[in-house]
Homo-oligomer: A and B are copies of this chain.
Amino acid sequence: MKTRIHDVAERAGVSMKTVSRVLNREPNVSDATRDRVLEAARALRYTPSLAARGLATSKNYLLALLYDNVSPSYVLKVQQGATNICQESGYHLIVRPIRESISLTREDFVVLLERLPVDGVILTSPLSDNPAMLAALNQLNIRHVTIGGAIQSASCPAIGIDNRQAAEEMTRFLIQSGHKKIGFVKGDMYHISARMRYEGYKTAMAAHNIEINPEWVVQGDYSYTSGEVAARDIFSRSSRPTAIFASNDDMAAGVMAIAGHMGVSVPDDLSVGGFDDTATAGLVWPRLSTIRQPVREMGEKAAEFMIAPPCRENDVAAVNAQHLSYEHHLIIRESTRNI
């Protein structure tokens, strides 16, 4: 039925072990032998059995991507990046949506992780910053990497962008476009990113000596609906801002919908800034000015970290090299304008 390593060995006239060596790119195989083996393998269309290999090496050749509740296009981009890398290395990516992760305990996560036969776990925000999850991972001694969570303070490889600086940049852009009355819609504060983005907004405002009107700063939760609620809230105040910076695209889209509904024209009466450059940003009209993160690349790097051999415990430099902050880009579209 299925070809086994034994068949390849026979055809190439070598031992199984030698075939194994060639297939795993181990050293100490003569070029002639290597060629012979590779050809035999190709001719027989041999693919090694993951299960057998896993049993022998006590590896699983599987990574898990865990996510909760973030925007679909974000998750899918991470997924795409991670599978790209997995593919190259003979790994596979298994996915697990986890709903309402914030209400789960460490024990819940332990149970979940115990039955996940993987060599590494990729966490996306808000799981990236979930202490119970991180504790469970450490307890079970499972390698992991976070995307979009805290970076400097992380005790594991961590990948993201400088949310604070990016938010500062967007805010500065609005200010330089002539806006002074700038509202802000906060994201779910469970996400470190939400806190950093808020910080960035405040920093930029302070740097330009613009006082923040607290009536225009509203708590959201990163959902479209919360953006709508926030916008209704802000528009019901005695005075209105000329710009609103929503800390993600979905909320920005919510703001725009309500603006449209209330006869506030974007961008003529109101500039709206988003964050993430998800699919949403290009779907609304006018299209959102936003901050782009290189999400696919981040997914790739995360998988690379999990597949690469673990670096030595004491190698501080190597560990620091796993705290990776990617560049972001301010994308200017039609939802913002000079005044």
Contacts and interface: CB of A to CB of B under 8 A. Distances in A.
Interface of A: 45, 47, 49-52, 54-55, 60, 62, 71-73, 75-76, 79-80, 83, 90, 92-97, 114-117, 224, 250, 253, 256-257, 260-261, 279-280, 282-285
Main SS class of interface, A = helix
B51 A79 contact: no
Nearest to A2: B58
Contacts of A282: 224
B95 A279 contact: no
Given A80-B97, A95-B93, A50 B285 contact: no
Residue from A79, A261, A285 with most neighbouring chain B CB atoms (10 Å)? A285
B47 A115 contact: yes
Contact of A114 (B47, B54, B95, B116): B47
Contacts of A260: 285
The 3 closest A-B pairs by CB, nearest first: A51-B54, A72-B72, A257-B285
A280 B281 CA distance: 11
20 contacts: A45-B114, A49-B55, A51-B51, A52-B55, A54-B54, A62-B92, A72-B72, A72-B75, A72-B76, A72-B279, A76-B76, A79-B95, A92-B117, A93-B95, A94-B95, A95-B95, A257-B283, A257-B284, A257-B285, A284-B284
A73 B97 CA distance: 13
